[in-house]
C-alpha cells in the first residue's frame, strides 16, 4: 500500500480514498466547495499552480474525466500536456516506468493516470521522485477517488450532512470503481445506512464493502432512501448476469418514476455518466427534478482543482 501523505501530513498522491481519514476527506471537500460556482457564472481562476506542469496520461482518446482534469489544471494556472499511452499493455513494467521517468525528467509535477489495469497508479507513485505527485483518474474496477469525492460533495450540497443518510448504490457494483470509491468516502464520512442493490452475479464478493446491506431486488434498497446512486451497466455485463438485455433489464433494475417514489420525497438521484437511458435509468428520472447528475459534473472540476491544489501547492510550500 502506497503512503499517500508526506511526513508533514499533507497529501502527496491521490490514488484511493481507502487510506485517507475523515479529516483529510473533509479538507478536500471543503477546498473543492470553494471552487464551486453556479452554472452561468464564470468558474474561479487563479495562478496558484503557475509554473507547475500536469501530464494527463489516459488510455482512451477523450473522456469527460480527461477534460475535467485538464480544465481543473488550466484554471489554476498550470501547464497541461496530454498523452495517450497504453501504460499497462503496450508498455509493461519497466518500460511503463521509463515513460514515467521521462515525464518526470521533463519537469512534470503531477501525473494523472487512467488505466484499465489495476496497480498502474500505485506503481508510478512508488517510483517517482519526492517532488512528483500521482493522481488516479480511474483505476480498473478498483478505485476512482475524484469520483468518490465529487459524489460525496454532491450529497453534502443537497443534504448538508452525512450522518443518518440512507444511500442506495444500484447496478453493476461488482465491476465498478465508482461504487468502491463512493463506499470509501461515504463510510468514512459517517453514512451508516449504505445499501448495495444488484443482481447476484453483479454483486461484489462478500468480503468487500464491509458494513453495507445487500439487496437482490430494487424495492427494498430504495425504500426510504435519501440518495440513489445508479451505476452504468454494460451490455456484456447484463448477459453475464444472465439477464435479458436492454428493456428487460430495465424492467427489473431500471430507475423509473414509480420506483423513485419508494425513496424519500426529497431523495436525490445520481449517475456517474455516461448514462444508458432506458436501460439503467428512465429519461424522465435522469432529467427530472430529483436528478443532480449535472451537479456531479460541475463538482468534478472543483474536486480535481482541490486535489491538484493540495498535492502541488502544499508539496511546493514544504519543499
Cα 77 to Cα 73, 142, 245: the distances in Å are: 7, 31, 46
Torsions phi, psi for 90 (to 5 deg): -65, -35
**Burial state string for 206-227 with b = 16 or more CB within 10 A and e = fewer than 16:** eeebeebebbeebeebbeebbb
- By C-beta, is 7 or 129 nearer to a copy of itself? 129
For residues 204 and 190, what is the distance between their CA atoms, to the nearest angstrom?
22
Q: Give the shortest CB-69-to-a copy of itself separation in angstroms.
A: 11
Instruction: Determine the interface stretch with a copy of itself among 7-15, 98-106, 163-171, 226-234 (rule: CB under 8 A).
Output: 98-106
- By C-beta, is 40 or 265 nearer to a copy of itself? 40
- Interface with a copy of itself, residue 61, by CB under 8 A: yes
- Count interface residues toward a copy of itself (CB under 8 A): 51
- By C-beta, is 171 or 315 nearer to a copy of itself? 315
In the stretch 249-278, what mask flags binding to a copy of itself with x, by CB under 8 A?
------------------------xxx-x-
For residues 175 and 213, what is the distance between their CA atoms, to the nearest angstrom?
18
Cα 91 to Cα 87, 98, 105, 112: the distances in Å are: 5, 9, 18, 17
In terms of C-beta density within 10 A (0-12 exposed, 13-18 middle, 19 or more buried), how is residue 164 classed?
Answer: exposed
Cell of 152: 460525496
**Which of 1, 94, 206, 210 touches a copy of itself (CB under 8 A)?**
94
Query: Quick one: which H or E segment has residue 99?
Result: helix 93-105
- By C-beta, is 137 or 204 nearer to a copy of itself? 137
Cell of 55: 501530464
**Which of 2, 5, 48, 67 touches a copy of itself (CB under 8 A)?**
67
**Which of 82, 157, 220, 313 touches a copy of itself (CB under 8 A)?**
82
Cell of 296: 456531479
Q: Give the shortest CB-54-to-a copy of itself separation in angstroms.
A: 11
- Interface with a copy of itself, residue 64, by CB under 8 A: yes
Q: Give the shortest CB-18-to-a copy of itself separation in angstroms.
A: 27
Cell of 19: 487510506
- By C-beta, is 40 or 289 nearer to a copy of itself? 40
- Residue 95: which residues within 8 A CB-CB, separation 6 or more? none
- Interface with a copy of itself, residue 62, by CB under 8 A: yes
Contact 309, 293 (CB under 8 A): no
Instruction: Determine the interface stretch with a copy of itself among 9-17, 19-27, 103-111, 232-240 (rule: CB under 8 A).
Output: 103-111
- By C-beta, is 41 or 258 nearer to a copy of itself? 41
**β-strand pairing of 166-170 with 227-230:** parallel
Cell of 129: 521522485
- Interface with a copy of itself, residue 43, by CB under 8 A: yes
Q: CA 38, 44, 47: angle at the middle one, nearest 5?
A: 170
- Interface with a copy of itself, residue 48, by CB under 8 A: no
Q: Give the shortest CB-216-to-a copy of itself separation in angstroms.
A: 29
For residues 9 and 15, what is the distance between their CA atoms, to the nearest angstrom?
16
**Which of 37, 161, 235, 257 touches a copy of itself (CB under 8 A)?**
37
| DSSP letter assigned to residue 201 | G
> Which residues in this chain contact a copy of itself in the complex, by CB under 8 A?
37, 39-40, 42-43, 45, 51-53, 55, 61-62, 64, 67-68, 70-71, 74-75, 79, 81-85, 91, 94-95, 98, 101-107, 129-131, 273-275, 277, 283, 294-295, 297-298, 300-301, 319
Amino acid at each position: 500500500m502506497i503512503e499517500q501523505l508526506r511526513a508533514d501530513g499533507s497529501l502527496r498522491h491521490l490514488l484511493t480514498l481507502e487510506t485517507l481519514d475523515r479529516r483529510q476527506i473533509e479538507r478536500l471537500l471543503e477546498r473543492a466547495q470553494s471552487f464551486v460556482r453556479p452554472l452561468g457564472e464564470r468558474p474561479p481562476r487563479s495562478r496558484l499552480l503557475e509554473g507547475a506542469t500536469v501530464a494527463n496520461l489516459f488510455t482512451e482518446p477523450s473522456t469527460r474525466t480527461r477534460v475535467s482534469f485538464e480544465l481543473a489544471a488550466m484554471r489554476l494556472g498550470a501547464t497541461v500536456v496530454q498523452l495517450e499511452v497504453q501504460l499497462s499493455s503496450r508498455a509493461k513494467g519497466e518500460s511503463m516506468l521509463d515513460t514515467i521517468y521521462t515525464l518526470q525528467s521533463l519537469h512534470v509535477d503531477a501525473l494523472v493516470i487512467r488505466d484499465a489495469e489495476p496497480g498502474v497508479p500505485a506503481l508510478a507513485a512508488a517510483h517517482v521522485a519526492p517532488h512528483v505527485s500521482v493522481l488516479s483518474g480511474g483505476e480498473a474496477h478498483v478505485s476512482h477517488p475524484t469520483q468518490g469525492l465529487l459524489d460525496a460533495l454532491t450529497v453534502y450540497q443537497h443534504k448538508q450532512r452525512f450522518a443518518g443518510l440512507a444511500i442506495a448504490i444500484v447496478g453493476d457494483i461488482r465491476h465498478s470503481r465508482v461504487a468502491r470509491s463512493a463506499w470509501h468516502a461515504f463510510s468514512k464520512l459517517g453514512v451508516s445506512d449504505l445499501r448495495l442493490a444488484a443482481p447476484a452475479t453483479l454483486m461484489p464478493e462478500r468480503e468487500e464493502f464491509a458494513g453495507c446491506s445487500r439487496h437482490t431486488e430494487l424495492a427494498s434498497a430504495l425504500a426510504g432512501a435519501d440518495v440513489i446512486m445508479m451505476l452504468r451497466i454494460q451490455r456484456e455485463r447484463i448477459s453475464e448476469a444472465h439477464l435479458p438485455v436492454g428493456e428487460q433489464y430495465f424492467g427489473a433494475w431500471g430507475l423509473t418514476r414509480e420506483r423513485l417514489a419508494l425513496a424519500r420525497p426529497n431523495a436525490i438521484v445520481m449517475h456517474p455518466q455516461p448514462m444508458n437511458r432506458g436501460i439503467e435509468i428512465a429519461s424522465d428520472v435522469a432529467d427530472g427534478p430529483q436528478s443532480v447528475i449535472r451537479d456531479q459534473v460541475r463538482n468534478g472540476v472543483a474536486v480535481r482543482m482541490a486535489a491538484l491544489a493540495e498535492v502541488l501547492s502544499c508539496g511546493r510550500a514544504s519543499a
